[in-house]
Structure 1
Amino acid sequence: MKALGVTGFGGPEALEILNLPEPEAGPGEVRVRVHAAAVNPTDTLLRAGLRSLPGTRPPYVPGMDAAGVIDQVGPGNDDRLAAGQRVVALVVPSGTRGAYAEQVVVPAASVVAAPAGADFAEAATLLMNAMTARLAVDTLGVTPGGKLGVTGAAGAFGGYVVQLARADGLHVIADAKAEDETLVRQLGADEIVERGTDVAARFRELAPDGVAGLADGALQSEQVVPALADGGVIATVRGWKGPAERGISVRPVLVRDAATDTAGLAHLVEQAEEGALTLRVARVFPADKAVEAHRQLEAGGVRGRLILDFT
């Protein structure tokens, strides 16, 4: 089986083609023949050695988003999933079990039917980022009609936060560069502030008492604390834990905590099918061009997700 991974950490060039044994689905697992895998920032951290995989040894195969077809169902599964079914999977990488491979074995609970009408590249953009966004919105706990802030709103995570928050009846204030303003408005932001290091002050211009919660997709950490109301909540996606001030809570969000939330994953698929969530593909690369894909992601400015094609 062909996969893409690292035997030694480093820059994009550390990625190499690996020939690995074909994995077998065990009890409660399914094997997916991967057609498309999304390239996420977490993948670059694993490749660089900045995110560890406890208890495993190299080679490491990155990738948390897979779309493809089930080609093996392990024992002990119900009839929800079957061989030949088009699916998406939220993958928690472990050793060689990552989405950057022709085949990946995952818990059946992490696999749901692919969105109807979406091709494999589009489908691969959904679960990891949308579920992270779902966790962030839930963590913030803003009541309907309340004001929720978003940084990095034009990105994959931030865009899903905007859409999920709007679907929940929240008032969304999002940041955007001038060239991204139209996109962020189309995603559903009620109000937009200019992106930058002083974005907190701009949030305060629109919400003088501060926003009740803020999803920090731009990783601005302590710089956005002044945007929060007293007792507000910041959801972070890169491990920053504060401290904050004025009773503000800083709560890291880890998507692996919801990797087997089958009902939650299926609901995200339903929202994508209904048009509440937008599947955004920035560019599709042949799988053997993963180095180029990582370079482009780390260069910044990507809107949507880069996809590796394993067909």
Structure 2
Amino acid sequence: MRAISVTEYGGPETLRVADVPEPVPGPGRVRIRIEAATVNPVDIAAREGHLAAIAPDLPLGLGRDAAGEIDAVGAGVDRLAVGDKVIGLRDRLLMATGAHAEAIVLDASAVVHAPRTLDAAHAATLPLNGLTALQGLELLDLRPGATVLVTGAAGAVGGFAVQLAALHGLRVVAAASPSDEAALREAGATHVVGRDRPLGQAVRDLVPGGVDGVLDAAGLGVRALDALRSRGAFVSVNGGDAVPVNLRGTRVQNVWFHADTAQLEYLVSLVDAGRLTTRVADVLPLADAAKAHIRLAEGGLRGRLVLRPS
């Protein structure tokens, strides 16, 4: 089958479609014939070698989440069957082939039935970014009525976070460009702040004393922490240097997405109920993965870039 993996670190020009052995599902696993797979910042990080310290062996598969149809099932799987339309999340790092391929084998626990109301391209945008947003909010552990700042609110993770926070009864301050204000208010944001002045001061003018929690999807670090009240909760999506020191008694954590059947089924139910929306920026063939990496690195996208194997 055809797949794209990191075989050498470097720029987008290093990405090539190669023929690789088709994976076979073992016990507790299923094989998905991929119809759509998103391109995420973690794919760029892998290609550039930023994950080498924790994933030193090449080839390293690209692609974390996918939508498609199950065409093979391993022993002991009873919740899923051949022919099921599904979405799945690859949360294991050390895989030579990922979702940027014609097929992928995943643990059944990382796979759920796809939303009935979405096509494959839109469904593929849900697992990684939706779960990251949901799990980040879970780490914040805020009660209904509390205030939360979401940075990068118009982005993939931030967009889900705004909607989910509002659904969970939180008052949302969204940090984004002014051009995104109308969409963010429709998504549930109470306030929208731009980049015309320091974030901490802008937020504190709206929420005296600072917000109760911050979900930092934009990697602003200490600039976002400045908007947080003393002893508040801060969750970084980006990790590394984007995780600030826990000043003023704040609780600072990093969220690294993980597969969770119940949480992914919950997100699907929200989508099918019309309470959670997804966004696709563009759909490209697998052979244009390099173009997708370039466009993602340029920024400014509203929605995810999606690759199709055919």
Same fold (TM over 0.5): yes
Match of 2:119 in 1: 119
For residues 288 and 190 of structure 1, the distance between their equivalents in structure 2, rounded to whole angstroms, comes to 42
The one-character-per-residue Cα deviations of 1:126-176 (angstroms, maximum 9, x if unpaired) are 010010000111111111011111110000100111011011011001112
Q: Is the 8 A contact 2:213 2:234 kept in 1?
A: yes
For residues 38 and 139 of structure 2, the distance between their equivalents in structure 1, rounded to whole angstroms, comes to 25
For residues 15 and 121 of structure 1, the distance between their equivalents in structure 2, rounded to whole angstroms, comes to 21
Match of 2:276 in 1: 277
What are the equivalent positions in structure 2 for 1:34-45 lying under 5 Å apart? 34-45=34-45
1:255 aligned counterpart, secondary structure: coil
1:263 aligned counterpart, secondary structure: helix
1:16 aligned counterpart, secondary structure: coil
Q: 1:197 to 1:29 in 2, by over 3 A?
A: farther
Match of 1:309 in 2: 308
Q: Is the 8 A contact 2:66 2:124 kept in 1?
A: yes
For residues 54 and 113 of structure 1, the distance between their equivalents in structure 2, rounded to whole angstroms, comes to 31
Match of 1:208 in 2: 208
Match of 2:247 in 1: 245
Matched residue pairs, number?
307
1:246 aligned counterpart, secondary structure: helix
CA RMSD after TM alignment: 1.4
Match of 1:85 in 2: 84
Offset, 1:56: 6.3
Offset, 1:242: 2.7
What are the equivalent positions in structure 2 for 1:146-165 lying under 5 Å apart? 146-165=146-165
Amino acid at match of 1:8: E
Amino acid at match of 1:233: A
Offset, 1:27: 0.7
What are the equivalent positions in structure 2 for 1:209-248 lying under 5 Å apart? 209-239=209-239, 240-248=242-250
The one-character-per-residue Cα deviations of 1:218-256 (angstroms, maximum 9, x if unpaired) are 100011111001100111012144313111111100103
Q: Is the 8 A contact 1:58 1:95 kept in 2?
A: no
For residues 82 and 142 of structure 1, the distance between their equivalents in structure 2, rounded to whole angstroms, comes to 38
Match of 2:76 in 1: 76
Scaled by the length of structure 1, the TM-score of the pair is: 0.95
The one-character-per-residue Cα deviations of 1:254-294 (angstroms, maximum 9, x if unpaired) are 103xx1x2111111110111122111001001110000001
Amino acid at match of 2:114: A
Offset, 1:298: 0.2
For residues 118 and 177 of structure 2, the distance between their equivalents in structure 1, rounded to whole angstroms, comes to 29
Q: Is the 8 A contact 1:282 1:306 kept in 2?
A: yes
Match of 1:254 in 2: 256
Amino acid at match of 2:134: R
Offset, 1:94: 2.5
Amino acid at match of 2:254: P
1:135 aligned counterpart, secondary structure: helix
Q: Is the 8 A contact 1:53 1:94 kept in 2?
A: no
1:278 aligned counterpart, secondary structure: coil
Q: Is the 8 A contact 1:209 1:229 kept in 2?
A: yes
Scaled by the length of structure 2, the TM-score of the pair is: 0.96
Q: Is the 8 A contact 1:210 1:228 kept in 2?
A: yes
Match of 1:3 in 2: 3
Identity %: 44
For residues 132 and 307 of structure 2, the distance between their equivalents in structure 1, rounded to whole angstroms, comes to 21
Match of 1:137 in 2: 137
Q: 1:196 to 1:224 in 2, by over 3 A?
A: farther
